[in-house]
Structure formats: structure tokens, C-alpha cells
Chain A
Amino acid sequence: MLNTVQSDTVSTTDARQAEILRSRYEITDGDLERVRVAGTAVIPQLSSVVADFYVWLESRPEFPLFFSDPDNLARVQGLQSGVWMTFFGADLSADYVGERRRIGQIHANIGVSLSLYLAGMEQWLQLFVSRVNSDAPGADRNAIVAAVTKMMYVDVDIVINTYLENTNAVLSAQSDSLMRMSTPVTSIWDRILMLPIVGLIDSKRAKDIMSSMLRKIADTQSRIVIVDISGVAIVDTAVANHLLKMTRATRLMGCECIISGLSPEIAETIVDLGIDVGDIRTTANLRDALKYAFEAVGISLKEMP
């Protein structure tokens, strides 16, 4: 999950992100210059700013969780000085975005809550502003403060996105394992297979279903596979494509795929979306599909007297 490899595609994304952030927060070259000017006031006092920040941080209930070890505390304080020196360099480049992302990743990984992170950033901003107001050149102070504020928003934006991506990655992994617990393809009669699908079908799941289905067809030499979708919540064009691929694949193995369980509502959305069911055999319910399947393999069902 923690991506520490800097690849070409990642730096291109970072470059693009830098552009987006620049325009989102309306950061001009003038702003960047003002941030550097702010730096001339703040950086000489950076160690005292950091000390002030930690006075604040110590008052937070989470403090002992992260800083019970004094060596760790000293190390982190050192790192933070470096982070803020880069900040006041005001170089909104792909590298800057990449570095901020990594910082965000670290915060997320060690379990800093988003609210603590945001409170901290607000604190840093207050400390910087007070230094700017007392020591930066008088004429431009308001504009300088505005520029520094905008750059802080940029940092916060990057870190929040990193947190969100982190959460998504965790959820994705969780839903992956949920989906892998899906129903196996079952042999319900000689040469007839059945596969009920429940829930949502995404491309990963469709791929898994496809490969297990094809393997089972080969193993059992089945002639019919009934895919029952009465438990599928939504059929949109993406899902329809997956189902279509399934029917094509089974055809290449001499097996007919019947899609059963099309409710009136689902059928209506399929028609609304303009999806052409074509030659695919479909039934409203499982019973009709079974009836067809038995006939197709040459079995007739008779009621007992």
C-alpha cells in the first residue's frame, strides 16, 4: 500500500497535480515570491517556531501516543525544520507535491488522525503569521500572509487526498477479500452448471468469475451454464459488457450461457441504456432457465403419478 517507488507515471501525476493546485488556489508567481520573503523572516527563527509548536502539541491528548520516546521527538523536530525550509522555498513543482504526499502517507501510516493533522497545520499557520507580522517588511504584510495561507492550503490539500487514497486502498483491499468469498460455479446436473451472482460486479470480480467458470466448464465438459443475476443490484453498461464477455467465452468452449433472473426493473434499465441483448438467451427466472437447460441436454422431466 505504501508506494515508495518513484516511477515516471507517478511524477507525471505529481506534475499535473502541481498544476491543478496552482490553479485551484490561484497561486501566482507573485505569491510564491511573497512566501519566500516570509521565509526570510521565519527561517532564522525556525527552531523557536518549532519549539512553540511542540508546546501546543504537548497539550494535546494524543501527544504521548506519538512522542513517548524523547529521541523520536528530537528526530521528528529535526525533520520538521527541513519540511518548513522547503515550504518557504516556495517551489510548487512535481517534486514538492511528491514530497508532501510522502509526508501525508507517513502521517496516515503512523495513525495521526486527520483532525489532529489539520489542527496542527492551523497552529503552524498562526505561528508563521505572528512571525511575519512582527518581522517581515511592513508594506506588504497582508499580501504575504495571504500568500503563505494559500500555500498552506496546498499542503493540506495534498495530505487530505493522501489520507483519502489511503482509506480507499484499505477499503479496496477489504472489498477484494469479500468478493473473493463469492459463490463457486456449481454443477447442478450432468453438463449443466449454475452460477448465482449476488451484489455488484466490478471488473476484478468479473475476471475472477470468468476464469473459474471456464475452468469448471473444461473440467465438467458442460454444455450449459446458467448465470443467475437475480441478486445483482445494478446492471449498467459496464456490467452488461462483463456478462456479454462471459457468453462469448463460454461459446468458444461449446457451452451456452443463459442469463437468468432478469427482473422487470433490471430489464427496463437495460432497455433504457440501449443495451442490445442480441443472441444471448435470457430468462426472467431460474425455473425457465433450468427448463431450457434440461431440454438442451436431452432430458425430459415428468411428474410422478
Chain B
Amino acid sequence: MMLQNDARVTVVRTRGRLLATVQSDLSGAVLTELKRQLLGSLAEGDCAGIVVDVSALDLIDGHEFKGLRSVLSIAGVMGCPAAICGLSPGVVSSLIDLDVDIRRLVATLSVDDAMASLDHLSAAAS
């Protein structure tokens, strides 16, 4: 079931979780939109997890990555585990060269793997 549609960010509720797909980039405007859609849904309660799919992105700079991390951290503070999926080799290489902070970040290649990771996290937490 599609919740909201914006050319830049699409959020879908699936398997009890929110799947946000970023289409274009992680600019300030996109991050704001992401926050609005995701965190807004979280505020209404009943969310077992968030997955942000960035597989459409060829490029993520350090600043954008930090922004994305902070959205996930906010979700975490609101009690919702989160994962990123779809970081490509090229994007990963640059982020590593930039020495970004990846502590406590759950990252996977595919959406399925991300969902599975969130299952593990929920199981561990309970």
C-alpha cells in the first residue's frame, strides 16, 4: 500500500515496515521530505522498522550520508530500528575514502536482506 508519492522519495508500507525508496539524490530537500514522510508515519505508531533503499543513487557524498544517518538515528530514538540498503561499490568506495562514521549502522545490499536484518534486530531486542 503506497502511502505517499513524491518524485524524489517513495514510501511504501510492507510486511509491517516502512520502505522508503530514494530516487534522485540525498539533497537537503530530499532529506527533509524523507524525514517528513518517515518520521510522520512513525509518530502515528505501529512500525516495526524502516528500510531506506538508495540503490538508485550513483553518488552520495559525506554530507549527504551524514544527513541520511541522522534521519535513521532519529527513528532509532523513536524506538524504530532502521537499515540502509543498496549502496553500490562506487558509492561505498568514496564513502570509505571519506572515512564516514558507520558505527551501529545496519547496511545490506537488497531490500530482502534489510528486512531479514530487522527481523534479527527485533528478535534480539525482545
Contacts and interface: CB of A to CB of B under 8 A. Distances in A.
A240 to B, nearest CB: 15
Contact of B93 (A221, A249, A255): A249
Interface residues of B, number: 17
A248 B102 CA distance: 8
Task: Place the interface of chain A in its size category.
Answer: 10 to 19
Nearest to B107: A252
A215 B107 CA distance: 16
Given A253-B87, A254-B85, A221 B109 contact: yes
Interface in A223-237: 223
A210 interface: yes
A221 to B, nearest CB: 6
Q: Is the interface of A mostly helix, strand, loop or mixed?
A: helix
B120 to A, nearest CB: 12
Nearest to B109: A254
A210 B31 CA distance: 30
A277 interface: no
A209 to B, nearest CB: 12
A248 B88 contact: no
Interface string A240-255: 0000010011011111
Interface string A155-166: 000000000000
Interface string A200-214: 000000000011001
- The residue in B105, B107, B114 that gathers the most chain A C-beta atoms within 10 A of its C-beta is B107
A254 B108 contact: yes
A252 B110 contact: no
Interface in B94-126: 95-96, 102, 105, 107-110, 113-114, 117
A167 B114 CA distance: 52
A218 interface: yes
Given A252-B96, A254-B113, 8 more contacts: A214-B93, A218-B109, A221-B110, A252-B102, A252-B107, A253-B87, A253-B92, A254-B110
Nearest first, the 5 A-B pairs at minimum CB distance are A254-B108, A214-B89, A249-B96, A252-B92, A252-B107
